[in-house]
Chain A
Amino acid sequence: MLLALQGVHTYYGNSHVLHGVSLELEAGRTVALLGRNGAGKTTTISSIVGFVPPRSGKVLFKGQDVTGAQPHALARMGVGLVPQGRRIFPNLSVRENIALAQRAAGRRTGWSLERIYAQFPILQERAAIGGAQLSGGEQQMLAIARAMAVGPELLLLDEPSEGLAPLIVAEIGRVMRALKQEGLAMLLVEQHVPLALSVADTVYVLNKGQIVFSGSPQALAADAALKQQYLGI
């Protein structure tokens, strides 16, 4: 098992947000994590990468206990993050956003600059421009590029389609399917259910901090009551 969460409980101060979340992800597979706004999807990601360490339960990566480990330790072990809201450094240029990831990744080898520019030619055009001046779509491409520059074995994506035009969403979908083809494992958080189901091997549905469904995309697609109750579709 590449990634496993075992009974994770996470709090913000006194507010108990995750109530014993467990999930598993095998190498090379894609897991979609779905759920309504406020269900706890981002908190699950934050619990994995050490932004908000779980108060109890365990996070295992490649069999090692990484519960509450520092973000840089996880990055160096091979976890990449494309965060919700993209979180591009506004005061660094496009080139610097990438260089930072390449430099800090240590001995891992991730996407080279050539590979990044071949995948996203627009980033080459905008190499010298500050992160704050990019459009939403360009920011999302940069967020993916810079996460891949770290050389991850597991990529966490938190709502990569959020706020993007349909054309860009389609492009992001193509990139994710290509990454899957190459054997990268992904944990994909999405509100855009069709996009998620088009790449996922396994789906988990989160509601009020608890997993209420896990199964194949087909099983979820067939369960109208479940979709209505927990996804509002």
Chain B
Amino acid sequence: MTLDTFVLQLTNGLVFSLLLFLMAAGLSLIFGLMDVVNLAHGAFYLLGGYLGLSIVRWGGSFWLALLLAPLLVGVLGLLLELTLLRRLYRRGHLDQVLATFGVALIVADLMRAAWGAYVEVVAPPALLAGQVAIGGLAFPTYRLAVIAVGLSLALGLWLFVERSTVGMQIRAGVSDPQMAGMLGVDVPRLFAGVFAGGCALAAFSGVAAAPILTLYPGLDSEILILALVVVVVGGLGTLRGAFFGSLIVGMADVFGKALLPEFSVFAIFVVMAAVLLTRPAGLFGRATATRGA
């Protein structure tokens, strides 16, 4: 691998990592807060991408798609939380996994019915369609923009969780939802909000990724599996874990595919096994506090 291709792959790795982060951040916070593994998270990512595709096709701009698709998917997530998931918190993990898996299958089938089984490509907005030359290398402008937006969103999310009042309530809820409730935090409302926000972020990632990764049936589960690996590697319920976990998994995926195409999936799981052997709770995971019933 020459230095030039290395730098280009590094850029690709960063782009993919940040897209993964937007997926994994919601997944991880939802998991940490509600103890729910949302297996429909990948479906929401892909649904966001497809909705974006339709918005562009119906004459909307890419920017409108980037705004509207996450909004629609966020509302859908909110309805799902209020009608289905809310009933399952007091039940075991198996019920929750089955319910969200069921939702993932239904959404996947509906998407296949609505958008077909072809690979769909979304063009990046005209403004970002070209290339930028930096130090003799040509970088696709769109990818650089995704890096800039991804890093800004990561920073914004971090500030929100670490500095805002709602962020403080989320951190308290992640560590002990019952006690957060006893201090007056409306935990069910917090859950619903975080769930909807996480779904919207996944959809945003789906739209932003569409010009790079395209859209096709099955992409939902591919992305979901990678995001789950990120959450396991980074540790549950922390943004920092989701961020560094995404970097590790994203880079392993991109460089794995470039260097050992036959073994790229293998590379990710080797990384995951290595992290878990040294840090069973993930890079930034805490041993979870003992909870009451």
Binding site for B on A (CB under 8 A): 12, 42, 46, 49-52, 70-72, 74-76, 79-81, 83, 85, 87, 89-92, 96, 99-101, 103-106, 146-147, 149-150
Contacts and interface: CB of A to CB of B under 8 A. Distances in A.
A150 B175 contact: no
A91 B178 contact: no
A76 B182 CA distance: 9
Contacts of A52: 292-293
B236 to A, nearest CB: 12
A89 B176 contact: yes
B130 interface: no
Instruction: Report, nearest first, the 6 A-B pairs whose CB atoms are least far apart.
Output: A71-B181, A104-B184, A101-B183, A75-B184, A81-B182, A72-B181
A106 B180 CA distance: 14
B181 A70 contact: yes
Contacts of B293: 12, 46, 51-52
Interface stretch (B19-27, B68-76, B164-172, B218-226): B164-172
Interface of B: 165, 168-169, 171-172, 174-176, 178-188, 286, 289-290, 292-293
Contacts, number: 89
A146 B172 CA distance: 13
B171 A104 contact: no
A134 to B, nearest CB: 14
B171 A87 contact: no
Given A89-B171, A100-B172, A75 B181 contact: yes
A104 B183 contact: yes
Q: Most A CB atoms within 10 A — which of B168, B174, B188? A: B168
B186 A72 contact: yes
Contacts of A81: 179, 182
A106 B184 contact: yes
B185 A100 contact: yes
A90 to B, nearest CB: 6
Contact of A150 (B183, B188, B290): B183
Given A46-B293, A51-B293, A85-B290, A74 B182 contact: yes
A100 B181 contact: no
A85 B178 CA distance: 13
Contact of B286 (A91, A96, A100): A91
Contacts of A103: 165, 168, 184
Nearest to A80: B182
Nearest to B172: A89
Given A81-B182, A105-B184, A91 B292 contact: no
19 contacts: A72-B182, A72-B185, A72-B186, A72-B187, A75-B182, A80-B182, A81-B179, A83-B179, A87-B289, A89-B176, A99-B165, A100-B185, A101-B183, A103-B165, A103-B184, A105-B184, A146-B183, A149-B183, A150-B183
